[in-house]
Amino acid sequence: MFSDRSRVAAGLAVLCAAAGTGAVMYALGVLPEPWTRGYISEGGVAASPRDGIYRAGIVTLAASLALLGTALRRLVPFVFAILVTAAVFGTASAAVSCTPGCPLPPYEPSTPADLVHAGASVLGVGLAVVAMAGVALISLQPVLRRIARVFAVVTLPLAVMLVVGLLAIGRGLFTSVLERVALVPVVVWIAVTGLQLLRRPAAERA
């Protein structure tokens, strides 16, 4: 059920999740208030001195989604398609950066690039959460279901709160901090699931 190729993909997913997160955090470090103000995407605007590092970090995180999907392909087949699609949208969000401030409707005037970037980002993260829920519900491996359920219980309320905050409040301290907090369990789920797949005994491999 689980090949050596899948183990390699799982290991690479863990590495990409860690490297991508590190790159994005480093890129955000040049912002005036990187952890409490503004959107994460502001690290990738053309005016940022580390926009290239930010984009590379997002692409690397997108790769971690595709790699985890590859690792899970035999265990939860449809999750592979969801995670690969999420990776495509994540890569698109890196390719199309927002304008300074990353303005979003309904409270700020937005350019087409802002809307494309925001849409790709939301779809990428949203599909990753859908994949997490899918593993939580139907994975053939109980341990993977348990891991996904724990992270889903944490992630889903945060995601709902973030959407409500963006629509009801808009840009501000609440949405800035919540955006960062909501993304943490998604990235950690990728890493923990990848590590769990690496720990699977050889007897369970195809």
Specify if 203 maps to a domain: no
* Contacts of 44-52 spanning 24+ positions with Cβ under 8 A: 44/94, 44/97, 44/98, 45/97, 45/98, 45/99, 45/100, 45/102, 46/97, 47/100, 50/26, 51/27, 51/97
Residues of the chain with pLDDT under 70: 1-3, 34, 201-206
Q: Which amino acid is at 127?
A: L
Specify if 160 maps to a domain: yes
Specify if 206 maps to a domain: no
Range of the domain at 184: 4-195
- Tell me what pLDDT residue 201 has: 58
Distance CA 87, CA 9 (A): 14
Specify if 94 maps to a domain: yes
- Tell me what pLDDT residue 203 has: 41
- Tell me what pLDDT residue 113 has: 94
Specify if 200 maps to a domain: no
Structural domain count of the chain: 1
- Tell me what pLDDT residue 2 has: 55
Segment 155-203, tens digit of pLDDT: 999 999 999 998 888 888 899 999 999 999 999 999 999 999 998 754 4
Specify if 170 maps to a domain: yes
Closest C-alpha among 196, 201, 194 to residue 70: 194
Specify if 97 maps to a domain: yes
